[in-house]
Amino acid sequence: MGTVSKGMKMIEDGHGIIGIEMGSTRIKVVLIDEENTPIASGGHDWENTLDDGIWTYSLGEVWEGVQSSFADLQKNVEAQYGVVLKKVRAVGISGMMHGYMVFDAQGKQLVPFRTWRNNMTGQASEELTGLFDYPIPQRWSIAHLYQAILNNEEHVGRIAHATTLAGYVHWMLTGQQVMGIGEASGMFPIDIKTQDYRSELADAFDTQIAGKGIPWKLKAILPRVMSAGELAGELTPEGALLLDPAGNLEAGIPLCPPEGDAGTGMVATNSVEVRTGNVSAGTSVFAMLVLEKELSKAHPEIDLVTTPDGKLVGMAHSNNCTSDYNAWISLFGEVADALGLEVSSTDLYGKLLPLSLKGDPECGGLLSYGYVSGEHLTGFSEGRPLFARSSDSQFTLANFMRSHLFTALCALRTGLDVLMNEEGVEVDEIRGHGGFFKTPGVGERIMAAAMNTPVSILETAGEGGSWGIALLASYMIREDRNASLPEFLEKVFADNMGEAVKPDPMDVAGFEQYFERYQKGLSVERAAVEFLP
């Protein structure tokens, strides 16, 4: 039986699995087969909006994007296999972690979605970190909630349910207010022993807000925590129509616990066991190192989250990665267009990014900051994209591109230094995925230089979290019920990892020089934020 015929029969028999991830700039849907291989995909581009100082997406945009990406998958399935996708074995929902989505008892959204990108909870983050003796980053849902309380926002008393983007979509599709443990760990601290929210910290929070007239207790408004492999509900008839307004998709499909992009990134790179690590690099960039033990103390630069099966993870998260160099490449595309040249986006990236490997090791004295938004790792609540050079810098296109790739990882490196240098965390290999790695041979070499660690990527690196959440849905319905998540993934990834790129000593030395320049130049970025409105 040919590949197309085999795929057609598999789809007609309803043996596929769907993973949906709502990233910061793209919603991606992937269909995988019984061997967990992606066989079709769909997508929808979107962008957050700065509305009254808040980075947000409206609920209308959420459903427009989800439906558009699913319709794109349907179109591609019909084009490739000549059949309509009507049923699958399982579905998984993922999305950007953290942020603030709150609803009243009737399910009405109380305030617009406040995404992870909003650095507006500094007071709450600082106070809760002190209260809990546990790092509470500004992005976390509990920081947004507590800041709303500190701000005396009227809606707080009417909250019946707090969730994340993935949790919200899962809820609408299934009626279940639940959350995978990895995603839940970005809302509120998790107790590794009980695999649930830390009760003593929830009690401390309730005590802290006592007397403010708030009628709820914290754990009553948080989603129920679930672990990888558990059944987290089924697609309701209403949910099926929300996902596929054309009415082709059948109800009754089981869903796995919704997870965040950090957890799906760990799964998509087979990085859920101790001493493994992964880095997800796109609009933002974060590195996840699975820890062998608790950290010695709370570090404001480091999130403590979990794998989808509940192991402790140290996470360094930078808000800014590819957005600024994407903007520059778009500008170069306009230049080409003005000159009457037809150059595709793929060709622009494919020609420009590899030039970075031909630049001077330390970028010839150039310096850039891709701070499209604030950057908590370096202490910025706002950002201003900035490029600087001295009169004697080597201002070449190769150095320019190298500078933008290096700077995309400098804030991340600030956090990693805490884990590796201060805490002595060791990792054998970093596995990468996301848009930073789409141009072959470039992203992994730059990342290896920044982390001074071997970096490997997968052919499916571009699929990223949509494939990761599809694998979690597949794990939920696995035949071997005794298989742990690492055991399941070892079979999925057998002979599937690319050979690791080892750090080039000249690249490493060059990055160290650039990183030193970057740290010294932060005062220039601060001045830009202060004086450029």
pLDDT for 497 beyond 70: no
Between CA 484 and CA 480 the distance in angstroms is: 9
Task: Domains for the chain: give ranges and CATH numbers.
Answer: 323-457+503-531 (3.30.420.40)
Q: Mean pLDDT lowest for which of 64-78, 218-232, 283-297, 319-333?
A: 283-297
pLDDT band at 282, cuts 50/70/90?
confident
**Quick one: average pLDDT of 139-147?**
96
**Quick one: average pLDDT of 351-362?**
98
pLDDT for 495 beyond 80: no
**Quick one: average pLDDT of 405-415?**
97
Q: Closest Cα partner for 135 from 372, 377, 337, 328? A: 377
Q: Closest Cα partner for 271 from 38, 459, 489, 503? A: 489
Q: Tell me, what amino acid is at 404? A: H
pLDDT for 462 beyond 60: no
pLDDT band at 177, cuts 50/70/90?
very high
Q: Which two tokens stand for residue 421?
A: 């240098």
Q: Closest Cα partner for 141 from 196, 110, 96, 100? A: 100
The pLDDT value given to residue 45: 95
**Quick one: average pLDDT of 2-19?**
89
pLDDT for 1 beyond 60: no
pLDDT for 460 beyond 60: no
In contact, 445 and 507? CB cutoff 8 Å? yes
The pLDDT value given to residue 438: 87
pLDDT band at 341, cuts 50/70/90?
very high
Percent of the chain at pLDDT exceeding 70: 98
Residue with the two structure tokens 């439906």: 67
**Secondary structure (3-state) at 40:** strand
Q: What is the DSSP letter of 223?
A: P
The pLDDT value given to residue 485: 97
**Quick one: average pLDDT of 378-401?**
96
Residue with the two structure tokens 């839940």: 184
The pLDDT value given to residue 298: 83
pLDDT for 459 beyond 80: no
**Quick one: average pLDDT of 353-359?**
98
51-58 LR contacts (CB < 8 Å, sep 24+): 51/112, 53/120, 54/112, 54/114, 54/118, 54/120, 55/114, 55/115, 55/117, 55/118, 55/373, 56/112, 56/113, 56/114, 56/115, 57/113, 57/115, 57/165, 58/112, 58/113
Q: Which two tokens stand for residue 31?
A: 């269909």
- Mean pLDDT, the chain, whole residue set: 94
Q: How many CA atoms lie within 13 A of 496 on its CB side?
A: 16
pLDDT for 155 beyond 70: yes
Helix, strand, coil share (%) of the chain residues, nearest 5: 40, 20, 40
Query: For the whole prediction, is pTM greater than 0.85?
Result: no
Neighbours of 162 (CB within 10 A): 23
Q: Which two tokens stand for residue 448?
A: 């290896």
pLDDT band at 463, cuts 50/70/90?
low
pLDDT for 189 beyond 60: yes
Print burial letters for 289-304: b (CB count within 10 Å at least 16), e (below 16).
bbbeeebeeebbbbbb
